[in-house]
Amino acid sequence: MSGAITRTWVAAIAFAVATWTGSMGADLLVNVVQGDEIPRPFSGNAFDNHVAALFVGVAAVPLLRRRRRAILEAVRLQDAEDSLEEYRAKDRATANEQAALQARVRRCIHVGDLTMFAQPIFSVAGDPALAGYEALARFADGRPPDAWFRDARDAGLGAELELAAVEAALELLPSIPQPCYLSLNVSPAVLVSEELFSLLRHGGSRCVVEVTEHLHVQSYDDLRLAIDRLRRHGVRVAVDDAGAGFASFRHILQLGPDIIKLDRDLIRRCNVDFVRRTLTTSLVGFAQEIGADIVAEGVETEEELITLRGLGVAYVQGYHLGRPAPLPQPGPPDPQARPTAASAGNATSSADV
C-alpha cells in the first residue's frame, strides 16, 4: 500500500512540474473534459483518482487564467473600437458644425449681411462740436456683434470678418465732414497685418484705430512696429475701454496711444461716485502728461456730461449725445432735444457706447 501511495505522490509531483514546464497538464485536462481515460498512474484506486482530480484542477488554473486574459483583452479591444467610433462620430459632428459656421461667416462677409453704423463723438471743451465717429458693426440677423466676431474666431475667420468690417467702415469716410475722423475697432492680431496697412495707408489723419482691450497681445514689439508704420501715414491709435481691466492699462503703457477712451463702467454715475470721479481725474491728468486726448464713452445723462466737463474731459460719446445709426448723421444735438433715457432704451444695445 505504501508503495502505491509513494508512486502516486511521485507521479503527482512530476505532473505538477510538467504543468509549469510543458504541455502534459493541458493534455490531461483535455482528456478529462473529453471523457477519455486518464493515463497511468492517474487511474486506479479512489485515492489515486482524488489526487488525479486535484492536479487536473491545478492544471486548469493557468488555462483559465489565459482564457480570462483573452476575454478581458477582447472586451478591451471592443471598448476601444466603440470609443474610437464614438470619437469619430463626434469628430464628424464637430467638422460639420465647423463647416456650417465657416459657411455662415463667409456668407455674412460676401453677401452683405454686415452693415456699419456710426456713433458720433463730440468735443465738449466749449460748445458741443462734432469731432468724429466710431464705426460699429451691425448684422442682418440682429445678433450682437460680439457673438458674430466670437463665431468668426471659432471658425478661424476672425481676421477676415474684422477686415471686412474695416473695409465697409471706410466707405463711410466720404459722408463724414472734414476734419472729423473715423474710429475703427481692430484686434492686436489684425493691427499687425499687411491687409490692414493696405486698407489704411491712404486714410491719413482721418482714421483712428482702436485697439480692443479684451484679447491677448502676442508681441508688443510687433504691435509697436505696426503702429509706427501706420503713424507715418497719419493714422492715430486709441486704446479702448481704459479703466475696465489691467489689459487696457498695459496697452497704454506699451503703446503710448494718441487717444485714451474711458470705459462706460467708469463713466456710469460718475456724477455721484467719488471713486469713479477720482480715477477719471487721474486718467485725465495722465493723458495730458503724455499728450493724449481723452474720450469718455457711455455718457447717458446730462449730469454725467456736466461732471466730465468739470473734470477736464474734452471728448464724449454716448446715447445722451447720439446713438449708433447709418450715416449721414446730424450734427451736434440741441441740448434741449437730446435723447431721453426712454428713447435711448429703444436703441439696439447700450453695449456699443
Q: What is the pLDDT of residue 151?
A: 92
Where exactly are the structural domains of the chain? 2-80, 114-352
Q: 59 burial class (0-12, 13-18, 19+ CB within 10 angstroms)?
A: buried
Whether pLDDT at 224 is above 50: yes
CA 147 – CA 317 distance, rounded (Å): 23
Q: What is the pLDDT of residue 137?
A: 96
Cβ 337 vs Cβ 316: under 8 Å = no
Share of the chain above pLDDT 90, in %: 51
Question: Mean pLDDT in the chain?
Answer: 79
Full-model pTM: 0.68
Confidence of residue 350 (pLDDT cuts 50, 70, 90): very low
The model's pLDDT over 176-194, given as tens digits with 9 standing for 90+, comes to: 999 999 999 999 999 999 9
Cβ 89 vs Cβ 291: under 8 Å = no
Domain 114-352 listed as CATH 2.40.40.20? no
Confidence of residue 237 (pLDDT cuts 50, 70, 90): very high
Averaged pLDDT, 247-261 = 89
Cβ-count burial 192-205 (b if 16+ within 10 Å, e if not): bbeebeebbeebee
Radius of gyration of the chain (CA): 40
- Give the number of residues written for the chain: 353
Averaged pLDDT, 222-244 = 92
Confidence of residue 18 (pLDDT cuts 50, 70, 90): very low
In one-letter notation, the amino acid at residue 250 is R
The model's pLDDT over 83-117, given as tens digits with 9 standing for 90+, comes to: 766 666 666 666 788 888 899 999 988 888 899 99
CA 48 – CA 228 distance, rounded (Å): 100
Averaged pLDDT, 239-263 = 86
Cβ 204 vs Cβ 170: under 8 Å = no
User: How many C-beta atoms surround the C-beta of residue 123 within 10 A?
Assistant: 17
Q: What is the pLDDT of residue 80?
A: 74
